[in-house]
Amino acid sequence: MRATLRDHASRAVDRIRAVAGLVESHALALGALATALVLVGVFYYPVATVFVDAIVVDGRPTIEPLVSVLTSRFYLVEIFGFTAYQAFLSTVASVALGLPGAWVLARFEFPGRETLRSLTILPFVMPSIMVAIGFVATFGQNGTLNAVLRALGLPTIELLFTLPAIVVAHAFYNAPLVARVTTAAWESVDASAIETARSLGASPVRAFRDVVLPQLLPAVAVGATLTFVFTFASFPIVLALGGFQLATVEVFIYSRIQNLAYAEAAALAVVETVISLSLTYLYLRYEGRQRAAGQGARPQPRRSLWPESVTSRELGTRLAIVGYAVVVLAVFVVPIASMILTSLTGPQGELSLRHYRFLVERQQTGAAYQVRPLPAIENSLVFGAGTLLVGVPMGVLMAVLTTRDFRGRALVDALSMAPLAVSGIVVGLGLLRGLVFGIEVFGTRITATGAVAIVAAHAVGAYPFVTRNVAPLLGNLDPRLIESARSLGASRVRALLDIELPLVAAGVVAGAAFAFAISIGEFDSTVVLAEGSTSYTMPVAVERYLGRRLGPATAMGCLLLGVTSLSFVVIERFGGRYGRGGF
Amino acid sequence: MRLTLEDVRKTYGETIALGGSEGDQPDPAAGGGANGISVDVDDGEFFTLVGPSGCGKTTTLRLVAGFEPPSAGAIRFDGESMRGVPPEDRDVGVVFQNYALFPHLSVRENVAYGLKFGDPPGGESDAERVASLLELVDLPDAGDRDPAELSGGQQQRIALARALAPGPDLLLLDEPMSALDAQLRERLRMQIKEIQSELGITTLYVTHDQEEALAISDRLAVMNGGAIEQIGTPRDVYRRPATRFVANFVGDNNVFEGPVVSIRDGREFEKTTTSVDNDRKSPDETEGSGRERMVDVDVGGTTVTVASDRRVDTGDRVVFCVRPEGMSVVGDGGDGPGTDRAGIESRARSGGDGSGTGFGDTPANVLDATVSKAEFLGESTRSHLRWNGQEVTVRSVDPLEGDVRIGFDPSAARVVETEQGRGP
């Protein structure tokens, strides 16, 4: 009798243990399922509806829109041809502008080098529409450049709505990226490998060619491929600086949407997405190879920026660096400075707050259909907070998943990173056609407001950045820490909360700041979803002002700059502490 | 607590980490009847798994801790199967080679971490428990410091304190001293042993350092290629290695092999084949419990006499080993090649060497060899000699050079492998 009782008791304990273990071991799977549902709901499904739009017209399947795109000389040459051409030029310009920067950052020592190095992350968090405003303020009819030319008595030039303006703006965005990855690769070159080559008889030039260059090239390739991917799908910069005269695929799709030509837009989007995904695949392959290269044991010593000896060679090098610094100033600092300056300048060139006053007046007296600044700021902050709420848990969970070994991990990796490769316009269009216009699920019509759709789109665009910041930290954690905690009595979830999360907190915060900044600056899908509604954000407001009034647009841009800078400070504070997160 | 491993195996896909596979087993006697490993650790025992990297010792420890499930076999704590029991419910304390202290917690918080999940033993409060453990590991004032501020040896002691804090039934130590320098290692190893015997906690210790294993263990298991080669007391394993691998791995050894040419003592050997197997798994310590007999072995043309407690017949190939300290210098090399017959007069001088089990009527073996190199080790010199085309290592107080004559007693030899010959 007693034995049976004990038997029962122990069996009950066993069962409780089994159930607890089941929940425990499936907690991660449940989280993954939730993330997957969100992704399907706000990314894969909407994108799929865009694809369906391209092959189903008026309820009948057809390949007519796709065929018309693929056989049209206009689309292939004028649109896709031009898109690829400007992306290629932008890539060349970005590499040309970025490589000297990598050389200076990796090989020279000077005050502020670390700061400059961390500033290269700035473009990632800069709203592209703000950069576009800066370039309009610099190169426009009444921009800084022409003002300087007029002051010097020289003829003015018109750079706006030309290819060079687009290419330089793209270089502004992507040259720091090239510099960043190349600097990292350069710094990881082991000095003893170079010394070995030298001791075996190689000249400095030969040692550079044989030892350093092979380690730099993959990094340059990664930077160039990424630049091409970004500039191929670039939207706000081309829209603002090229207009519809110099239309890339993205801009053209946008104009089709505005004209309600959804089938045509969808067909273009399909072709664009296929190209983007192929490019991203290329990039991921390059990046994988790049990661395989080991970390340098001992970096090369840096030279002082001040020449130690006055030889013509040393001086020549320094002169080249000074020349490069002037170019960097012109490309990176002048546009931002011009934006700030323009926002503070009156019609006669005097210092004035009238553009800001205009914003205040518009806020007080503007009509309902007019763009008012306060709702824009409010919306931006609310959407940013929403993005954090949705995107950060998704990103952390994805990071936990991707640092674990299981079957099909590569597929999960690829699927979860796909949002990076699909253009915001396509996601926006999908959400608009799907969620906002409503979908039928088991006879019930489900619709989402523009605001919800915007948060969804921002979260999908932002969570990969959280993952990228958290995953490396998680991956570097010693598994024995978790094992120690567990042998001391902590359950798996408890060990995650007590040990893992506190240790990757810096990455989570940096990732969150990224996510916030991306939400604040997001333009592509927001402009599609905010069309005609009241859920416009600061970047959308900037673009709407830009059409008629440059001054208020620059004033709005300055507000955007302020919010963005704040995000950058947070990233810098937390990302810089461990120096390993992210890019 | 009594720890039992019954026929435990671990495979990762196709790779076998622990236990042999069919046909892969070098010697079916080594792993017991089945393929897995079996170990029995007594309550309060300090038991060591020692072997080269990749031998499966750390895998075994991880299975016992519950970090990974065994592929087959059973792990029992006091007879109760641990199948499906997660690490947090096993009441084990684990100490890793790299300390694995939580970097974001202070030393005190590290030690106290395990107390969150249960009350400390002996009715102490958490704070008292932490204090008494810091006292135990001799770092009473380290509580408020960051782990990173401590030296490697101090961090390892904190890791030990943390593992012991919840009062585990079983202590698992995975190469806890491999990252420390030699002097510190010896000090810490004595400290660990002291703490262990004071607490009387059953301990499973993993190391690749055979010297450490001999110094610290009550018993040890020598592992190789996922299987256990021998289990025994340190003295036992050192003096009576069961396999050629153990002979080579534990301490210095000279290994010879050759066919048996004659058996001096005709008495029937008492042990059966199965008892040889038992001997390998858990050899009894009493020397010469089985009947030893004198066997003449032809080693590269020289006949050497060794004592064997294994059943051998004329024509069998045998492998035997002699410790360097079992060899002694007899005198300078003679003119002709040394044979066992020539050793009679020298035996008087070397008498008392060897283990002195009193084979009074057996002549010592004498080898004429040439010194090829000598290493000065401080308290002794290790000389490497060339003899008969193979290397022989001898330890002596004075350095050796030139031609030397060395000898060893038959009882200093230990037969570790036999292979049945074709002849009778």
Q: Which of A293, A317, A346 is the last residue of a domain?
A: A293
Task: Note the pLDDT of residue B346.
Answer: 37
Is there a domain that residue A3 lies in?
Answer: no
The domain that holds B100 is classified in CATH as 3.40.50.300
In a shared domain, residues A415 and A552: yes
In a shared domain, residues A35 and A103: no
Closest residue of chain A to B102, computed from CA coordinates: A481
Those residues with Cβ within 8 angstroms of residue A307's Cβ, 6 or more apart along the chain or in another chain: A314, A315, A317, A318
DSSP state at residue A404: S
Assign 3-class secondary structure to B30-72: CCCCCCCEEEEECCCCEEEEECCCCCCHHHHHHHHHCCCCCCE
In a shared domain, residues B216 and B327: no
In a shared domain, residues B140 and B204: yes
* Residue B52 structural domain: 3-239
Q: Which of B211, B239, B267 is the last residue of a domain?
A: B239
Question: Rounded CA gap, B368 and B391, in Å?
Answer: 12
- The helix or strand, by DSSP H or E, that contains position A9, with its residue range, turns out to be helix A2-39
Is there a domain that residue A11 lies in?
Answer: no
Do A487 and B85 count as a contact with CB atoms less than 8 A apart?
no
Task: Note the pLDDT of residue B21.
Answer: 52
* Residue A204 structural domain: 63-293
In a shared domain, residues A267 and A393: no
Is there a domain that residue A313 lies in?
Answer: no
In a shared domain, residues B187 and B268: no
- String of DSSP letters for A362-394: HHHH--TTS--HHHHHHHHHHHHHHHHHHHHHH
Q: Mapping DSSP to helix (H, G, I), strand (E, B) and coil, where does residue A32 land?
A: helix
In a shared domain, residues B208 and B262: no
In a shared domain, residues B234 and B263: no
The minimum CA-CA distance between B178 and chain A, rounded to whole Å, is 16
Do B93 and A488 count as a contact with CB atoms less than 8 A apart?
yes
In a shared domain, residues B131 and B13: yes
Do A17 and B117 count as a contact with CB atoms less than 8 A apart?
no
The residue ranges of chain A whose pLDDT is under 70 are: 1-6, 9-10, 13-14, 17-18, 20-25, 284-297, 368-369, 405-409, 416-417, 435-448, 531-533, 571-572, 574-583
In a shared domain, residues A249 and A378: no
Is there a domain that residue B54 lies in?
Answer: yes
Task: Note the pLDDT of residue B205.
Answer: 96
Q: Which of A293, A310, A333 is the last residue of a domain?
A: A293
Is there a domain that residue B424 lies in?
Answer: no
In a shared domain, residues B207 and B66: yes
Task: Note the pLDDT of residue B265.
Answer: 62
Spell out which residues of chain A touch residue B104, defining contact as CB-CB under 8 Å. 502-503
In a shared domain, residues B213 and B350: no
Of the residues A22, A487, A499, the best mutation for testing chain B's interface (the one with the most B CB atoms within 10 Å of its CB) is A487
Task: Note the pLDDT of residue B331.
Answer: 61
In a shared domain, residues B374 and B309: yes
Do B90 and A488 count as a contact with CB atoms less than 8 A apart?
no
Q: Which of B176, B205, B239 is the last residue of a domain?
A: B239
Question: Rounded CA gap, A477 and B62, in Å?
Answer: 18
Do A502 and B85 count as a contact with CB atoms less than 8 A apart?
no
In a shared domain, residues A287 and A219: yes
In a shared domain, residues A71 and A37: no
Do B114 and A21 count as a contact with CB atoms less than 8 A apart?
no
Q: Which of A293, A319, A336 is the last residue of a domain?
A: A293
Is there a domain that residue A321 lies in?
Answer: no
The domain that holds A431 is classified in CATH as 1.10.3720.10
The domain that holds B396 is classified in CATH as 2.40.50.140
The minimum CA-CA distance between A187 and chain B, rounded to whole Å, is 26
Q: How many domains are contained in chain B? A: 2
In a shared domain, residues B335 and B207: no
Is there a domain that residue A58 lies in?
Answer: no
Q: Which of B199, B215, B239 is the last residue of a domain?
A: B239
Is there a domain that residue A537 lies in?
Answer: yes
Do B65 and A483 count as a contact with CB atoms less than 8 A apart?
yes
Is there a domain that residue B247 lies in?
Answer: no
Q: Is B263 exposed, middle or buried (0-12, 13-18, 19+ CB in 10 A)?
A: middle
- What is chain B's pLDDT, residue by residue, as a tens digit (424 residues)? 999 999 999 988 778 888 865 444 444 444 444 478 999 999 999 999 999 998 999 999 999 999 999 999 999 999 999 998 989 899 999 999 888 999 989 999 999 999 988 878 878 889 999 999 999 999 999 999 999 899 999 999 999 999 999 999 999 999 998 888 888 888 899 999 999 999 999 999 999 999 999 999 999 999 999 999 999 999 999 999 999 999 999 988 999 999 999 887 644 444 433 333 444 444 443 344 456 788 899 998 888 989 888 888 888 999 999 998 888 887 654 444 433 333 333 333 333 343 333 334 334 788 888 999 888 888 888 899 998 888 999 888 888 888 888 888 888 899 998 888 755 4
User: Touching check for B422 and chain A: CB below 8 Å?
Assistant: no
In a shared domain, residues B271 and B231: no
In a shared domain, residues A398 and A289: no
Task: Note the pLDDT of residue B210.
Answer: 93
In a shared domain, residues A70 and A29: no
Tokens of B88: 């947090």
Q: How many domains are contained in chain A? A: 2
In a shared domain, residues A45 and A95: no
φ/ψ (deg, to 5) at B408: -145, 150
In a shared domain, residues A42 and A128: no
In a shared domain, residues A582 and A482: yes
Spell out which residues of chain B touch residue A502, defining contact as CB-CB under 8 Å. 104
In a shared domain, residues A405 and A516: yes
Is there a domain that residue B244 lies in?
Answer: no
In a shared domain, residues B209 and B290: no
Is there a domain that residue A19 lies in?
Answer: no
Is there a domain that residue A6 lies in?
Answer: no
